Amino acid sequence: MNDDILKVLYSQDDIAAITKRLAGELKRDYAGKNPLVVCILKGAIMFMTDLVRQLDSYVELDFMDVSSYGDATESSGEVKVIKDLDTSVAGRDVLIVEDIVDTGRTLSYLIKIFQTREAKSIKVCTLMDKPERRIKNVKADYVGTQVPNEFVVGYGLDYAERYRNLPYIGVLKPEIYAS
* Residue ranges in contact with Mg ion by CB under 5 A: 69, 158
* 104 forms part of the interface with Mn ion (CB under 5 A): no
Q: Please, which residues have CB within 8 angstroms of residue 165's CB and are 6 or more apart in sequence?
A: none
CB contact set of 166 (below 8 Å; sequence gap of 6+): 2, 5, 153, 154, 155
Residue among 102, 129, 141, 158 flagged as catalytic: 102
Among 43, 104, 144, 154, binds Mn ion (CB under 5 A): 43
Under rule CB under 6 A, residue 129 binds ligand PRP: no
Shortest Cβ contact with ligand PRP: which residue? 43
Between 76 and 115, CB nearer to ligand PRP: 76
DSSP 173: P
- DSSP letter for each residue of 55-106: --S--EEEEEEEES-TTSSS--S--EEEE--SS--BT-EEEEEEEEESSSHH
Answer yes or no: 86 catalytic.
no
Site map 35..54 versus ligand PRP, x via CB under 6 A: -----xxxx-----------
In angstroms, the CA 37 to CA 55 distance is: 11
The reply on whether position 103 binds ligand PRP by CB under 6 A is yes
The residue ranges that bind ligand PRP (CB under 6 A) are 40-43, 67-69, 75, 98-107, 158
The residue ranges that bind Mn ion (CB under 5 A) are 43
